[in-house]
Amino acid sequence: MFETRPDRSMEVVLVGRSNVGKSTLMRQLTGHTFDTGRNPGVTRRPNHYDWASEDFVITDLPGFGFMSGVPEETREQIKTDVVRYLEAHAEKILVGVLVLDGKAAVDIIDRHLEREELPHDVEFFSLLEELGIQPVVAVNKIDKVEDRDQRLDEIADRLGMMPPWTQWQDVIAPISAKQGRIQALQDAVNAQFEAAKQEELKQFFS
């Protein structure tokens, strides 16, 4: 089910835990409707959106982590498939957008750390870096967070970036996908396109 990738040499992927708003964000970025739902795990296979005239594709990868009503074996297989997709296409992926739930991410990360487990979000941020894929962290649902700067500082810290978060604005992007407030992400991704000397792709994130 992961073999449907269009033949494109440049790609941006969205990765993240289930129910953090990846599909909603994908809809905001592309104007194209994808399956979304209240229940985690609606997206089980990659959603690709490619522009026929451009050598570029944006991909929403399935969510990983806990999914209500989904067996652990299935959850692990989805996560493995996502990792394999990133490994297989790393050379073509310019940016990996790690989507977090700004309200819940720190608590989830800390809960895993207390159990001496590697949190999924930390694991995938490190994996993107190891694969040579530029990570950009889209901190979604930021409208539901009371102390925005403190929360973003905490997220930066958990991902190994020294606070304050404001020095990482080309990596950390506070957004509200549901409200259509995604400019910070567009700016961060476009900064990475510039760094990769692929300015022509900025039209897709503006």
* DSSP character string of 114-133: HTT---HHHHHHHHHHHTTP
Domain assignment present for 170: yes
Contact of 69 with 24, CB cutoff 8 Å: no
The least confident of 49-53, 102-106, 128-132 is: 49-53
Domain assignment present for 177: yes
What angle (nearest 5°) sits at the alpha carbon of residue 100, between those of residues 65 and 17? Answer: 15
Domain assignment present for 3: no
What angle (nearest 5°) sits at the alpha carbon of residue 118, between those of residues 80 and 101? Answer: 80
pLDDT surpasses 50 at 56: yes
Domain assignment present for 77: yes
* Rounded Cα–Cα distance for residues 161 and 148 (Å): 17
pLDDT band at 100 (very low <50, low <70, confident <90, very high): very high
Domain assignment present for 118: yes
pLDDT band at 68 (very low <50, low <70, confident <90, very high): confident
pTM exceeds cut of 0.85: yes
pLDDT surpasses 70 at 155: yes
Domain assignment present for 125: yes
Contact of 96 with 136, CB cutoff 8 Å: yes
- In the prediction, which pLDDT does 206 show? 86
Domain assignment present for 101: yes
- In the prediction, which pLDDT does 41 show? 47
The least confident of 20-29, 33-42, 76-85, 92-101 is: 33-42
Q: What is the CATH number of the domain that holds 169?
A: 3.40.50.300
* Rounded Cα–Cα distance for residues 64 and 17 (Å): 5
Contact of 177 with 21, CB cutoff 8 Å: yes
3-state secondary structure of 173: strand
Share of the chain above pLDDT 70, in %: 93
Q: Which residue has the higher pLDDT, 44 or 97?
A: 97
- Domain range for residue 81? 11-205
* Rounded Cα–Cα distance for residues 130 and 90 (Å): 10
Write the pLDDT tens digit of every residue in 2-45.
678 999 999 999 999 998 999 899 999 988 875 544 444 445 68
Place of tokens 């000397």: 197
Place of tokens 């510039």: 194
Residues 6+ apart with CB under 8 A from 76: none
Q: Is the dihedral of CA 157, 81, 60, 127 positive or negative?
A: positive
Query: How many domains does the chain divide into?
Result: 1
Domain assignment present for 52: yes
